[in-house]
Amino acid sequence: MTRSIQRRPLVAANWKMNLLPREGAALARELLPRIREETGFVDVVLCPPYPGLAAVADVLEDGAVGLGAQNSHWEESGAYTGEVSPRMLLTLACQWVILGHSERRQLFGETDEGVNQRTRAALAAGLNPILCIGETLDQRDAGQVESTVLGQLDRGLDGLTAEEVLAVAVAYEPVWAIGTGRTATPEEAESVHALIRDRLREGFGEAADAVRILYGGSVKPENAGELFGQTDIDGGLIGGASLRAEDFAAIVRAATREAEQP
């Protein structure tokens, strides 16, 4: 389908806590020739764990594929053991950062308030946040999809201007679909994406039409095309399948087919 507005698809790889630096560099090297043409139509971003950033940046040096980290703190420096600041990531050639991933929220106690602070600091430093939101299975079963997802969205983006929100990609990732092999159907996902788009319009006006809303949760080559074909699904945040060059390349190709090609 052709989109009425110009939202270039974005496909981001979330490698999570996988791959040593040399393994990440090898995967990036394997991937690049497979998606060279696609990068003319789709933004592709690789998010290795911190130790792999420099090695992967070396492989991506021509800039056709972007680099992102998996988290960043709100302070520039200080006594925050284990944390990394946006400015530190900029020195490693990152342009993107995943924030508020459900694993951070569930396993490491991150809150909406903290995610908002991280988002604002990342933007102030010049990074593009990928803000993750999504409901658990219990919340879905209790009929709380809308309140959960829109609540996380509102609190995550609190205080941003319309101009700032243009630099953000929102990733809708139902927690029950992450790493489980169980994907939201294209219709289930689209209905939540449309709610997110409407809420962005309420808060930020027409800027909402330019914000990429990604779907994440067991995206694979077999289901990517149908998901990306939905009106408000502008790409994906890919975990497990991004660790295999062939699969990730196939997902990027699926996004290219949905891109508005000249």
Interface ranges with ligand PGA (CB under 6 A):
14, 173, 178-179, 216-219, 237-241
Closest to ligand PGA by CB, 207 or 254: 254
Contact 218, 183 (CB under 8 A): yes
Smallest separation, CB 173 to ligand PGA (Å)? 6
Residues 6+ apart with CB under 8 A from 243: 15, 18, 19, 27
Closest to ligand PGA by CB, 36 or 182: 182
Structure-block tokens of residue 189: 């996902």
Smallest separation, CB 79 to ligand PGA (Å)? 30
Which uninterrupted H or E stretch holds 122?
helix 112-125
Clarify whether 193 is annotated catalytic: no
Among 73, 101, 110, 258, the active-site one is 101
Smallest separation, CB 103 to ligand PGA (Å)? 7
Residue with nearest beta carbon to ligand PGA: 239
Residue 26, number of CB atoms within 10 A of its CB: 16
Structure-block tokens of residue 258: 């949905």
Smallest separation, CB 201 to ligand PGA (Å)? 25
Clarify whether 101 is annotated catalytic: yes
Residue type, 217: G
Closest to ligand PGA by CB, 14 or 256: 14
CA distance linking residue 92 with residue 197, whole number of Å: 32
- Residues forming the active site: 101, 173
